[in-house]
Amino acid sequence: MIGEKRINLKAAIHLLKHIGYCKKFKNFHCYSSFHSLLPKRIEEMIVKEEEKKEEKNERLLVDLCECYVMTYQCIIPDRLIVICLPCLLNAASNKMENEETRNEVEMVLFSLSLIETTMRVNTDIYLNEIIEIIEYHKEHRNLTRLGYQSAWKFLVLRLQREGEFEDVILNEFHFVKEATRELDELRECVNWKRKGGKEKEARRSEAKEVNVIMEWLRMVMAYFRERLFLDEEHIELIRCIVTLCRAAREYEKEIVGVSFFVFKTVAKIKPVCVVCLTKSGAANVVLEEIQQATLEHDMAHYHLRFFLKLSKTLKWKMVDEMEEAKRKAIKMEMFEKMEEEGYEDCIESFHKIFDFLDRKYYDGLSLNISDYFVNA
């Protein structure tokens, strides 16, 4: 259509960016796009523009790279990464503080956060640039919330994929502290009690904030997969997610579901880290959920999986005597808490539907009810 001039290039770029955004946040999928001629056509345009000796259109190149990344639904070829990555990073470094620039930079950073490649990318190509973008925002607040989240997502996931996920980098730039602050602020931006009718339009206007919350939670979950220990700052982050769960409980069940996956990820780390789930209130909020009369089967499954994982973690024997003593103390604390809150009664009440849950969900539940008890 572009070649035949049925649609001008500017309109086509706008349309493709919109499709890319919808793909990510509105469950709009176009599985056949990478089998079509569209990515090939955009790729040819990128290479042609990049090879120009004179009068290179940098804005057009950025737009084409964004469209390519958001349209191409599989791993981007190496030959395009070496063009797109520096181009997008350069555009994301634009520090002009006006609404138009903020929106443009948001889309560039969003595109960067979607990049998938098997190519090992040297950190020299992107690390200084993306860290400068994050640090500048901390001081000047020049990015949108989605833009800032996308910058962090690009950094965290890129380092994981390159096998250079170093504590010193994330600790130096305070990822946990920033995630906690952003989630707190985003929670306060949303009126969680909005319903339909006259408030429907206002609810739609808050959808972007809800999407950004979901992205932060997914990134936090990826971060916790790399942890070997947790400290007080991590407990504050989990406590922040607990508060978010309670706020979103009635109107945004998906947020609650992803939050519980975060808790389950923490429960896998090591027995002495389970204390974070008690001190932060995470175990409490899962107990509150599991006792609701209107609990759906899929949510019951997720909650039970959380406690099953927690119980199994607490049963791990520690070689170090001090760590083993901590494990036993935490295990007893968890047992007393579960007993006090009526946890065993909850498990008993769900026992009759275990077989159904086990057949319906691929990561089945244990039919041995004692597996769910931390004193077993």
Query: 103-131 pLDDT, tens per residue?
Result: 999 999 999 998 887 777 777 888 889 99
Picking from 373, 354, 374, 376, the residue whose alpha carbon sits closest to that of residue 365 is 354
Residue 180: both structure tokens together? 């906690």
d(C-alpha 265, C-alpha 53), whole Å = 51
Residue 51 in this model has a pLDDT that exceeds 70 = yes
The model's pTM is 0.83
Residue 143 in this model has a pLDDT that exceeds 90 = yes
Give the pLDDT of residue 106. 95
Position 68 in a domain: yes
d(C-alpha 301, C-alpha 100), whole Å = 45
Greater pLDDT, 143 or 72: 143
Give the pLDDT of residue 23. 75
DSSP 125: G
Whose tokens are 């508060």? That residue is 243
**Inter-residue contact 235 to 280 (CB < 8 Å):** yes
**What proportion of the chain, given as a percentage, has pLDDT over 70?**
79
Position 329 in a domain: no
Position 69 in a domain: yes
3-state secondary structure of 260: helix
- What are the DSSP calls for 9-48, one per residue? HHHHHHHHHHHHHHHHHS----TTGGGSSHHHHHHHHHHH
Residue 33 in this model has a pLDDT that exceeds 60 = no
Position 287 in a domain: no
Report, as an integer, the average pLDDT of 336-346: 72
Handedness of CA 252, 274, 268, 308 (dihedral sign): negative
Report, as an integer, the average pLDDT of 48-69: 90
Average pLDDT, the chain: 81
Structural domain for 41, as ranges: 1-122
Position 47 in a domain: yes
- What are the DSSP calls for 75-106, one per residue? PPPHHHHHHHHHHHHHHHT----SHHHHHHHH
Handedness of CA 27, 186, 17, 128 (dihedral sign): negative
CA 9 to chain centre: 33
What is the number of alpha carbons within 13 Å of residue 233 lying toward its C-beta? 12
Position 10 in a domain: yes
Give the pLDDT of residue 78. 85
Give the pLDDT of residue 201. 60
Greater pLDDT, 77 or 316: 77
Residue 204's pLDDT band (cuts 50, 70, 90)? low
pLDDT tens digits, residue range 144-171?
Answer: 999 999 999 998 888 777 666 556 566 6
Radius of gyration (Cα) for the chain, nearest Å? Answer: 23
Greater pLDDT, 51 or 333: 51
Position 24 in a domain: yes
Residue 202 in this model has a pLDDT that exceeds 80 = no
Position 93 in a domain: yes
pLDDT tens digits, residue range 342-374?
Answer: 666 766 666 666 666 555 554 567 767 677 777
Give me the number of domains the chain comprises.
1
Q: What angle do CA 185, 188, 194 make, to 5 degrees?
A: 145
d(C-alpha 271, C-alpha 268), whole Å = 8
* Maximum pairwise Cα distance, the chain: 75
Give the pLDDT of residue 93. 94
